Amino acid sequence: MDIRVKICGLKRPEHVEAVAEAGAAYAGFVFFEKSPRNVSLGLARELALAAPVGLAKVALVVNAEDAFLDNLLATVPLDILQLHGKESPERVAEIRARYGLPVMKAVGIAEEADLVQLQSYGAVADQLLVDAKPPKGAALPGGNGLSFDWRLVNRKYWPCPWMLAGGLTPDNVATAVQMTGARQVDVSSGVESAPGEKDIALIRAFVAAAKGEAKDAVPVLR
Ligand SMILES: O=C(O)c1ccccc1NCC(=O)[C@H](O)[C@H](O)COP(=O)(O)O
């Protein structure tokens, strides 16, 4: 089975190219000022224009208002909006209708009780990003390199396609796919040499491991 990979937090054209060459399906750009991965609208435009056809360009925003989104979408050619804040299901639906782009809603998971949100967001979003819940007081609402107990989402079904995220690395992604049945995975910290600094060798290793193409890959049982 082909696993679709998203590499998030790209800041350099050569990294966008490496993501496409490695066989990833999505490239993510972060618009959150406190993040070491934050990009300006101008840089994001350059990165998006450098992306080859077929690589979906995802904008990650946090509780963004219409004025920011209007400007973003007027400047950067994008394919998907990833909502990574406390947007309500109503706000998700509103953004989807206003901009006519597919919307992926991130939901933080730490325990079984958190799963219920996936039903309500799954009814209004095009995709769900099933991510680790950030620890209390964390500076970032995501991209913290922390995973959650993958057994919580083992073979679960929601009303729309979903992507597994949170603390994935080239070393653990094959196990995560096997344990959860995820068909899509997302990574940021796990392919960095330092916060916000992507590493091309790690990007290649991650995509190969996710797709079960790594040299020492363990066969995935389905
Ligand atoms: O990456 C950031 O800096 C960030 C800032 C604000 C909200 C979300 C952010 N990142 C989310 C992601 O990059 C991914 O979608 C996902 O959470 C995986 O992150 P990681 O655990 O670092 O692989």
| Assembly ipTM | 0.96
pLDDT in tens, the chain (222 residues): 699 999 999 999 999 999 999 999 999 999 999 999 999 999 999 999 999 999 999 999 999 999 999 999 999 999 999 999 999 999 999 999 999 999 999 999 999 999 999 999 999 999 999 999 998 888 899 999 999 999 999 878 888 999 999 999 999 999 999 999 999 999 999 999 999 999 999 999 999 999 998 766 555 454
Q: Does the CB atom of residue 131 touch ligand 1 within 6 A? A: yes
Contact by Cβ (8 Å): 108, 131: yes
Q: Is the CB of 7 under 6 A from ligand 1?
A: no
In this structure, what DSSP letter does residue 38 have? B
**Alpha helix locations (H) across 102-141?**
116-122
pTM for this entry: 0.94
Tell me the C-alpha distance between 153 and 148, whole Å.
10
Among 66, 114, 131, 171, which one carries the catalytic annotation? Answer: 131
Distance between alpha carbon 55 and the CA centroid of its chain, in Å? 14
* Residue 131 annotated to the active site: yes
8 annotated active-site:
yes
> What is the distance between the terminal CA atoms of the chain, rounded to a whole angstrom?
10
Ligand 1, atom 2, lies closest to the CA of 143
Which atom of ligand 1 is the closest one to the Cα of 192? 22
Q: Whose CA is nearest to atom 13 of ligand 1?
A: 143
User: For domain 4-210, which architecture applies?
Assistant: Alpha-Beta Barrel (3.20)
